[in-house]
């Protein structure tokens, strides 16, 4: 019989060694629906370090057998998980919306992207390999091969609680590693569903383990453990920098995807209606709670008034509410702490730019039970203002007016982050110059800053990311070591060495 996770208002259990296990926790977190705090979604244990050590031990015990399982067999298990997820897509999306808050269409999009990533990576199980090399020596065969690391830790955020765990777990498992997942405390149920589905698909006990708790305990124990060979982290730049520094002391492989402050550059010749629709989606879908969200519009002055007017008209009609309700385009902030952080930045913005839309918490009726903020737009924002430089992670957009392309590019690159960017123009020379000079890991032309595909690398530069890219074939580089092999078939001692 398939192991069944606790759900609804029951206390979540850790998943260790193939079993749902009561945590040793003495402290617990009540997780409520951010759109309706009357609804208790789950009780989450703040697990102690002992629980992490137990999970790491289970992963270590499972590693030899999983490593020795032929890669195509590992891929078959992932393909079975794909089919199960596809059958449960609607249920998974509704679970995601209840605990994270994003609208149901956004949640369905996230679930589908997670399925796509898992499907792609399952196929990579038949393409794991290195290279053959023509040796300088006679009768010598040289080649390389990718080998798994061992136990890897995945520390994931609340804003994409289904997709991001999958894009870490899938390549780790395909490569032959075993995993300990530390999901965000605010979004436990998606992690439980993932563990359920992999178990149902036939993943061996101990290959995937899930431990709930705070970063200060669970996350730190993963980073400090001498038995965890690699850490893949998505979250704030401040925490990511600490993990990177700490991991370096133990020669752990570290991969961090962190903050973003993503610009859309709009030149005077752009299709303003197209740009407006894309900015609207990039800034306010998922309540702006995504690392690739559009947070800066950098626009030539000659078209800025017209664009701002168009954007305010459409954003003002954006439907905000419970993400499970039909027609809702934007849900709440994930919790009160995040909402208050966004409101703090809005107050800062009122001293730095001209507020032209929103700028307040939504109240009255059902809004009083959730953490809702109106779509907010500031105009005439200086490029170096705090709201144009610091990650807000909410539905707040800054419009920065510039004189020309060079000033726009300078403003876009003035930020410490370098994740995603976009340019709207019909000038081919400007497009390619922008691609050459923009300091981001991802750039889009005449399309939003958000979005990505299952087979295409994802990640940023500068203070946004460190380590190999996630998603696509390059994801496997992080979860493997390259072993080089020389086979001498002369049958005799060589007279000289090349080394």
CA distance 400 to 263: 10
Cα angle 191, 192, 198 (rounded to 5 degrees) comes to 90
CA distance 364 to 386: 30
Task: Tell me the residue ranges of DSSP E strands in 156-261.
Answer: 178-182, 208-210, 228-234, 253-257
From the list 99, 124, 185, 257, the catalytic residue is 257
Q: Quick count: other Cβ atoms within 10 Å of Cβ 440? A: 24
Q: What is the DSSP string of 92-158?
A: HHHHHHHHH---HHHHHHHHHHHHHHHHHHHHHTTT----EEE-SSTTEEEEEEEEE-SEEEEE--S
- Judge contact between 159 and 100, C-beta under 8 A: yes
CA distance 126 to 78: 12
Q: Which helix (H) or strand (E) holds 17?
A: none
CA distance 235 to 29: 20
Is 124 considered catalytic here?
no
CA distance 240 to 246: 10
User: Which tokens belong to 256?
Assistant: 């961090």
Helices (H) and strands (E) in the chain, counts: 15, 22
CA distance 104 to 326: 8
Pairing of strands 253-257, 228-234: parallel
Tell me how far the alpha carbon of residue 215 is from its chain's centroid.
17
Is 241 considered catalytic here?
no
Burial of 426 (0-12, 13-18, 19+ CB in 10 A): exposed
From the list 100, 291, 391, 470, the catalytic residue is 291
- The CA distances from residue 406 to 308, 410, 421, in Å, are 21, 6, 15
Residues known to be catalytic = 257, 291
């Amino acid at each position: 019989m398939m192991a069944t996770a606790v759900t609804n208002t029951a206390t979540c259990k850790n998943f260790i060694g193939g079993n749902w296990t009561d945590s040793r926790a003495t402290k617990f977190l009540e997780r409520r629906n951010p759109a309706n705090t009357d609804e208790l979604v789950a009780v989450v244990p703040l697990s102690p370090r002992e629980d992490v050590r137990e999970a790491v031990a289970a992963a270590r015990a499972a590693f030899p057998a999983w490593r020795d399982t032929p890669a195509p067999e590992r891929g078959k298990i992932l393909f079975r998980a794909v089919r199960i997820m596809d059958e449960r897509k609607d249920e998974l999306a509704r679970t995601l919306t209840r605990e994270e808050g994003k609208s149901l269409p956004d949640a369905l999009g996230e679930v589908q992207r997670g399925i796509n990533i898992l499907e792609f990576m399952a196929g990579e199980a038949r393409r794991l390999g290195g290279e053959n090399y023509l040796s300088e020596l006679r009768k010598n065969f040289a080649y390389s091969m990718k080998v798994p690391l061992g136990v890897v830790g995945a520390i994931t955020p609340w804003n994409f609680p289904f997709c991001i765990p999958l894009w870490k777990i899938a390549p780790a498992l395909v490569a032959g590693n075993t995993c300990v997942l530390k999901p965000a405390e605010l979004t436990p149920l998606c992690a439980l569903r993932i563990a359920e589905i992999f178990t149902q698909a036939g993943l061996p006990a101990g290959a995937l383990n899930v431990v709930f708790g705070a970063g200060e305990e669970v996350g730190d124990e993963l980073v400090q453990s001498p038995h965890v060979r690699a850490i893949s982290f998505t979250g704030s730049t401040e925490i990511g920098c600490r993990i990177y520094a700490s991991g370096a002391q133990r020669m752990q492989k570290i991969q961090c995807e962190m903050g973003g402050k993503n610009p859309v550059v709009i030149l005077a010749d752009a299709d303003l209606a197209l740009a407006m629709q894309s900015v609207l989606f990039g800034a306010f879908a998922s309540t702006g709670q995504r690392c690739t969200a559009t947070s800066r519009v950098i626009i030539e002055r000659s078209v800025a008034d017209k664009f701002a007017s168009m954007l305010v008209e459409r954003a003002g009609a954006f439907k905000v509410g419970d993400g499970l309700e039909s027609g809702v385009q934007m849900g709440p902030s994930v919790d009160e702490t995040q909402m208050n952080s966004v409101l703090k930045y809005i107050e800062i913005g009122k001293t730095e730019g001209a507020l032209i839309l929103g700028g307040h918490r939504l109240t009255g009726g059902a809004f009083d039970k959730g953490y809702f903020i109106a779509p907010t737009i500031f105009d005439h924002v200086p490029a170096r203002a705090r709201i144009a430089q610091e990650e807000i992670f909410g539905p707040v957009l800054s419009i920065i007016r510039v004189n020309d392309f060079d000033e726009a590019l300078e403003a876009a690159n003035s930020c410490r982050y370098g994740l995603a960017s976009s340019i709207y123009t019909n000038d081919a020379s400007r497009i390619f110059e922008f691609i050459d000079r923009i300091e981001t890991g991802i750039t889009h032309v005449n399309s939003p800053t958000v979005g990505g595909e299952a087979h295409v690398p994802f990640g940023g530069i500068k203070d946004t990311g460190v380590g190999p890219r996630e998603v696509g074939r390059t994801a496997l580089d992080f979860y493997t070591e390259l072993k080089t092999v020389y086979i001498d078939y002369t049958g005799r001692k060589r007279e000289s060495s090349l080394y």
